[in-house]
Amino acid sequence: MEFSAFDFHVSLQEGLDMMGFKQATPIQQQAIPKILSGKDLIACAQTGTGKTGAFVLPVLHKIAVSTPQKHVNTLIIAPTRELAQQIDQQIEGLAYFTHATSIAIYGGGDGQIWEQQRKAIIEGVDILVATPGRLIALMNSDITSLSQVKHLILDEADRMLDMGFSDDINRIVSMLPKERQTLLFSATMPPKIRKLAAAILKDPEEVTLSVSKPAEKISQKAFLTYDTQKTPLLKFFLDSGIYESVIVFASTKEKVKMLDKEMNKSGMTIKAFHSDLEQAEREDIMRAFKAKKVQVLIGTDILSRGIDVENINLVINYDVPPDPEDYVHRIGRTARANTTGEAITFINEKDQQKFARIEALIEREIVKTSSLPARLGDGPVYDPKTKKSGFKKGRSGKKKTGFKNKNKS
């Protein structure tokens, strides 16, 4: 289905043409007509499916056909500053030929950024993209009015609840007009999201697209490792010369810093991405990664949501994520925009049951091997059904994607 079929305002269609967007994705095909009709919507779609365009485009159309106003027309709430920035950047591109204005509001910046945000809101902005904490601060400062908001959009609502923003969301919603259109987008649909939807949406339409399933074009593999084998194995992959753009996920920022120090001894350009960095540093690193000036990002799950970078060849889970849903979000960084990608997970003895839960969630058995480069020795056996599993060395069976003798040293 082509975007021209939606009969968007000519200025919005011009922006789509300029950016080379022709075909709507499945989530856009299903959601856009419902949003244009004025219905509340609850949509379940993972990252990389075009969901941002699904809610941005119909809102921009409504703004384009209306008389310009000096108040906030649309409020978009996102869990992280990185996602808020990316939504704002996408709005800026799509709205280039319209009169719509937007700004991203998030914490972590200096006084100058706060003043820029404050000035933009006072002068009037159509679309406000904000993280919950910074929006609460703005509401307390009395420099923004949400009394005429016509559209409320919650993006990655499941992530916001996981991060403890439930009270903030309820407070924000209580300050908005009761007569509004509310759109809730979530990658998963646990009971807590259903409860939130029931509280803030009115007779919503529902769209569900590939709940909690990785893209088919992601090649998924797992290597059974002892903890002492993980770092040498990571170095093996990074030194292989096969991958041009890689994201490595670790469980804690302390481990991220350790890996950054260890891996920078290799020939690749590597940067750590974690919450201890200043906002300006994080933005510089992300720009460099998008421009392929940085080849490898090492980070925690802060990288698994809202980071929209094309042509990432490989995602490595140095640690198995604690939540099966996080696995889907992590590996969803690769194989975006109809490309292919590879995802590799290191599984130690303690994380085997976690990985079994991941396979149950995605309804797929992932090929595993304990056959590592010869100098590392074999990893543990895979037996997630018993707590004693994995403490004896041995091979995991016939399913292997391991290393041939040429890797011996």
If 0-12 CB within 10 Å is exposed, 13-18 middle and 19+ buried, where does residue 219 land? Answer: middle
What is the Cα 7 distance to its own chain's centre? 30
- Note the pLDDT tens digit of each residue in 252-311: 889 999 999 888 876 779 999 987 888 788 888 988 998 999 999 999 877 766 566 778
Q: Based on the fold, state whether residues 227 and 193 are members of the same structural domain.
A: no
Rounded to whole angstroms, what are the CA distances from 288 to 82, 161, 263, 275? 14, 31, 18, 18
List the domain range (segments joined by +) for residue 282.
Answer: 218-403
Three-state secondary structure call for residue 183: strand
Residue 306 lies in a domain: yes
Distance of alpha carbon 35 from alpha carbon 211, whole angstroms: 20
Q: Based on the fold, state whether residues 185 and 243 are members of the same structural domain.
A: no
> In the block, which residue shows the tokens 């059974």?
224
Q: Give the ranges where 124-246 is alpha helix by DSSP (H).
A: 132-141, 157-162, 166-174, 191-200, 227-238
Q: Based on the fold, state whether residues 187 and 231 are members of the same structural domain.
A: no
The pLDDT value recorded for residue 372 is 93
Distance of alpha carbon 401 from alpha carbon 381, whole angstroms: 15
The pLDDT value recorded for residue 307 is 66
Q: Based on the fold, state whether residues 184 and 251 are members of the same structural domain.
A: no
- Note the pLDDT tens digit of each residue in 334-344: 876 667 889 99
Residue 409 lies in a domain: no
The pLDDT value recorded for residue 398 is 38
Residue 408 lies in a domain: no
The pLDDT value recorded for residue 211 is 53
- Note the pLDDT tens digit of each residue in 141-169: 766 678 899 999 999 998 898 888 999 99
Q: How many domains would you assign to the chain? A: 2
The pLDDT value recorded for residue 385 is 79
- The answer to whether residues 230 and 247 touch, using CB atoms and an 8 Å cutoff, is no
**Domain stop point among 163, 180, 209:** 209
CATH at 351:
3.40.50.300
Residue 124 lies in a domain: yes
Q: Based on the fold, state whether residues 27 and 152 are members of the same structural domain.
A: yes
Give every residue of the chain whose pLDDT is below 70, as ranges: 46-48, 109-111, 142-144, 210-213, 266, 304-308, 336-338, 386-409
pTM here is 0.65
Residue 330 lies in a domain: yes
- The answer to whether residues 370 and 398 touch, using CB atoms and an 8 Å cutoff, is no
